[in-house]
Structure 1
């Protein structure tokens, strides 16, 4: 039983935010019913995105709605506030939050008071001052970006198929991915696989007409799966006519021309930026200590160093890795985030009940990556796998980790149906501007008439 009424504020609805709130909801069920505790989750979106499935969603192997988990369904005993935390003053136990209502009304942000704070805002894309990137770059961190990229790739194939201008055709069929980590390699692998399949339905396109380029600043890709599997991945991608450029940087993409540090220039309408992430900007708007890289300084018990009643985990937190050499922090990945969230939820309950806290300890077991349908690499428990076995392990692992039985069943059903029927290659780009046609009609402008009639 908790000592007194506890107001718990969770900032962020990603891996750590959702799993921590879920753990607290289960452990404090009686207290929540009696009104002795309350849990508030502040999140920009009312769902959690399972990011490892974004490449498959982009390729059409999984429906986008099955990549996300609705927070209100899995957290029925929590108050879910759709909005963004703008600042946190932990010394005063308050957070400034803007919601959809305050933005709509032009009202000032709300002040939320709390007793226990969980900072789990995750990370945002780490960009560089590359000319043209803000105008032409495409991110790959949200489900909206994944589906937008899928629509974009198919639309570029439509443009190339319908134009007689060789320059436009070449630019439309050139796809540049910047960043050789998980996001970049898996996204490129899945989309190249999808586009190769889609090309058979175009009378004047072949898979060899498409140009795929992976740009990586370091001398290796997929460092998480080890050097040997990284080299295999490079070989596998090059066998599929993907240009893998190591030790190379994107210098500019202004005027729809990708200029690389080795002097190569590629006219292109597609630049996908997956070159890492950085801590969420909200961390800079708090009075809590941060590392030189901008992450919160945390203890192995997942408390913020030197500040009682403040907790953090995941991408936002620099958590000591007690299984590694002193001074080593846990890697900011999903494997740690999900496990940290469970310990974090338990430790908050232990703190409220005056019990000793647990230390987070988990030895990294390895990594798996998909390179497209039936292709992958894995380095798990010291064992190295490639090809179909690695791809199968990738699917099995992530199916076991995607939250809720509902989502597991739906994803498994979609995979089963995909094995029986052909891929979907439909572009629904108009979804990004659903009111365009109505606005045209309401504005009194007639649609284009090739005969010139009114």
Structure 2
């Protein structure tokens, strides 16, 4: 059988495997999916998971359950030898192995774009996984607890200062959702008020949400500022050592929370493997999603440079909207190539963009129609709910929203899950110390 190796279990990897399973005849090919995580994360719902509107488990889909009949390998592909048609796979545990293939689908997606900012590794918090969303929720709620329990003005001010770096969709949505959650949580903290919090969004360019029209971007800034939040455009963070944030404008302040959402870049796998890449490190593909100049290699999504035949952009932008649509065409073209049939080019009609700014707040631009407030927020939820894989996940998300609307938000910080063994290790050390002291006295 033809060996199809799919590198990555995100949007492209999952939807390509799903469609191949439906289109291929029994015994025609075997499909292997390799990803560092055994599940696919629906990232547009991460801000709501961080804010507590959606249960974190409900924004992930187990790959093995969704892809019966496919082999799912939990590991990382570190390199591809196209001449030998092998990929080096480093499993979660064990030694690296060489996995052969006949057809390779590079769906490794993107990674966070970081900069050499002093203190970023120690003080910054990423936002691209469920684990980071859970951590961030607990961290923000714990900062309210710290401020409520302290009489030190400096400590309270530092604990209640929250910074988000990056004004794209992820940055704006997590900025709005977390502030909305923290504002609600303030109700149970006597001695604190919303005015005690400081929320700062830092964006290097002259506008936020570059995917929407400038008027919608300006509207979003005005709404955020009206809520008492700060939006600093044409500004960068030059240092955050020990939580001391220094901006390019010269402003300095302390913050316990710095969330880094300053864009993404293509996974470097194609570059490391000597494949043809563009100036952004994306694998250069034809409009049929086949790697240019390479036989048997296909790609789509954030790690692929695919011509935009709609004329909106020269190259398709990195978005979930493109990834899901490209996966369908990619799978169909793989089947067509195996059967000697002509390939179809990828064409699309841009639907628009939606963004949530917190509960009952949002902006949207769909098919040229601009929406704000409640209608945009409902559009955001409806669109992304329709894109969540499996009927079971859709039902769970819907029940989460219903529960949140009928009851109060959960504002409990489960801080112990950040380091669950800390108390246990302290107890064991104290017990050992006590036993040693009693033995020496005896």
Q: Report the TM-score when normalising by structure 2.
A: 0.96
Residue 445 of structure 1 and its aligned partner are, at CA, apart by 4.0
Corresponding position: 1:286 with 2:278: no
Give matches, 1:431-442, under 5 Å. Answer: 431-442=417-428
Which one of the candidate residues 374, 392, 409 is aligned to 1:423?
Answer: 409
Give matches, 1:289-328, under 5 Å. Answer: 289-324=276-311, 328=314
Corresponding position: 1:43 with 2:43: no
Contact 1:440 1:446 in 2 (8 A): no
- 1:56-105 deviation digits (Å, cap 9, x = unpaired): 00000000000101100110110000000010011210000010231xxx
1:224 partner SS: coil
Which one of the candidate residues 113, 121, 125 is aligned to 1:126?
Answer: 113
C-alpha RMSD of the superposition = 1.4
Residue 285 of structure 1 and its aligned partner are, at CA, apart by 1.9
2:424 partner SS: helix
Q: Report the TM-score when normalising by structure 1.
A: 0.94
Instruction: Report the counterpart of residue 154 of structure 1 in structure 2.
Output: 141
Which one of the candidate residues 336, 345, 348 is aligned to 1:362?
Answer: 348
For residues 173 and 7 of structure 1, the distance between their equivalents in structure 2, rounded to whole angstroms, comes to: 54
Residue 446 of structure 1 and its aligned partner are, at CA, apart by 8.6
Structure 2 unaligned blocks of 5 or more: 434-442
Which one of the candidate residues 200, 213, 234 is aligned to 2:200?
Answer: 213
- 1:266-292 deviation digits (Å, cap 9, x = unpaired): 211111110100111222221311011
Give matches, 1:2-401, under 5 Å. Answer: 5-28=1-24, 30-31=25-26, 34=27, 36-102=28-94, 107=95, 109-324=96-311, 328-401=314-387
**When the two structures are aligned, how many residues end up with a matched partner?**
434
Instruction: Report the counterpart of residue 397 of structure 2 in structure 1.
Output: 411
For residues 254 and 187 of structure 1, the distance between their equivalents in structure 2, rounded to whole angstroms, comes to: 23
Residue 365 of structure 1 and its aligned partner are, at CA, apart by 1.7
2:231 partner SS: strand
Structure 1 unaligned blocks of 5 or more: 448-454
For residues 57 and 137 of structure 1, the distance between their equivalents in structure 2, rounded to whole angstroms, comes to: 19
1:188 partner SS: helix
2:358 partner SS: coil
> Which range is displaced more, 46-55 or 222-231?
222-231
